[in-house]
């Protein structure tokens, strides 16, 4: 019984510490100094550095979607609807979720590893001794950069995914460009675009803050850094999938 109580207490304490870290990081966005150079550097690392994997993921996701849906639609003689299915699937769900999961694998792990190394080498303690707030210097720039770059990367992923679907539709399914792009364009409405662009903003907080939390709570030397990196990836991935379900449910309930 004591083991169960200790486990529950540790989980509750972890949630509390994560909430405090998130609240301070959000408040620091509106407080000086803003460390603009750090934000720009993180935008370059998080955004431009993630571009190749986001483009590849988007392209092949759209290509596979077109390949699979055209096969199913051909049984009904409606292969012309391939563009519509690809567009709705990418913009609503697969674009935001897969892009965010790629960001988790690349950036949440990188943040946790970097900050964890700083913790075990006592660099964070040195910052506190110099009167620098580690939360403001280390967490807030990464949060701001991720919130700015993840929606942009999602838009790029959606467009590249649509292009990947077009390549398959044109060369394999033998649809004309007008058939594909017209169906893809007219299938999307304001609710779809709102859903596709609102999710990355929420996912960005998860990607940045989970990585920062596990990095700043690292203990136990190099083994602790590896453990924190693994925990950051697993936790952020599960939270993104769970949050995606909840947001989809709310949007469908209130957005029609």
Residue 93 token pair: 């769900």
pLDDT at position 59, please? 96
Residue 4 token pair: 């169960």
pLDDT at position 254, please? 80
Which pairs count as long-range contacts for 72-81, CB under 8 Å and 24+ apart, including other chains? 79/173, 79/175, 80/175, 80/179, 80/183, 81/183
Residue 1 binned pLDDT confidence (cut-offs 50, 70, 90):
low
Q: Tens digit of pLDDT for each residue in 13-46?
A: 888 988 998 899 888 888 888 889 999 999 999 9
Give the Cα separation of 73 and 77 in Å (integer): 6
User: Which range among 35-44, 81-90, 155-164 has the greatest average pLDDT?
Assistant: 155-164
Average pLDDT, rounded, for the chain:
90
Instruction: Kindly tell me if the per-residue pLDDT of 71 is higher than 90.
Output: no
Q: What is each CA distance from 167 to 55, 86, 192, in whole angstroms?
A: 15, 12, 23
Q: Return the domain boundaries, the chain.
A: 35-254
Do 115 and 138 contact (CB within 8 A), yes or no? yes
CA end-to-end distance (rounded Å), the chain? 47
Q: Tens digit of pLDDT for each residue in 93-136?
A: 999 999 999 999 999 999 999 999 999 888 888 888 888 888 88
Read off the pTM.
Answer: 0.91
Q: Among candidates 160, 189, 193, 190, which has minimal Cα distance to 91?
A: 193
Give the Cα separation of 175 and 168 in Å (integer): 9
CB atoms within 10 A of CB 29: 13
Q: Tens digit of pLDDT for each residue in 161-204?
A: 999 999 999 999 888 899 899 989 888 888 888 888 899 999 99
Residue 64 binned pLDDT confidence (cut-offs 50, 70, 90):
very high
């Amino acid at each position: 019984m004591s083991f169960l109580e200790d486990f529950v207490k540790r989980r509750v304490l972890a949630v509390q510490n994560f909430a405090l870290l998130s609240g301070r990081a959000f408040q620091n966005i509106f407080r000086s100094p803003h460390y603009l150079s750090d934000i720009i550097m993180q935008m370059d690392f998080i955004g431009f550095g993630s571009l190749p994997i986001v483009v590849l993921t988007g392209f092949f996701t759209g290509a596979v979607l077109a390949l699979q849906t055209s096969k199913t639609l051909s049984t009904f003689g409606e292969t012309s609807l391939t563009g519509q299915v690809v567009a709705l699937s990418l913009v609503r769900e697969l674009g935001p979720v897969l892009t965010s999961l790629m960001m988790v694998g690349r950036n949440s792990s990188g943040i946790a590893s970097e900050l964890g190394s700083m913790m075990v080498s006592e660099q964070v303690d040195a910052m506190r001794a110099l009167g620098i707030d580690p939360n403001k210097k280390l967490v807030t720039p990464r949060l701001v950069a991720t919130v700015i770059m993840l929606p942009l990367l999602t838009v790029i992923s959606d467009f590249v995914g649509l292009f990947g679907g077009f390549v398959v539709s044109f060369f394999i399914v033998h649809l004309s460009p007008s058939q594909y792009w017209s169906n893809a364009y007219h299938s999307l409405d304001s609710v779809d675009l709102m859903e596709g662009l609102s999710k990355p903003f929420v996912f960005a907080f998860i990607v940045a803050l989970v990585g920062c939390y596990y990095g700043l709570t690292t203990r136990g030397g190099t083994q602790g850094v590896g453990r924190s990196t693994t925990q950051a990836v697993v936790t952020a991935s599960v939270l993104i999938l769970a949050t995606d379900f909840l947001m989809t449910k709310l949007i469908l309930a209130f957005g029609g």
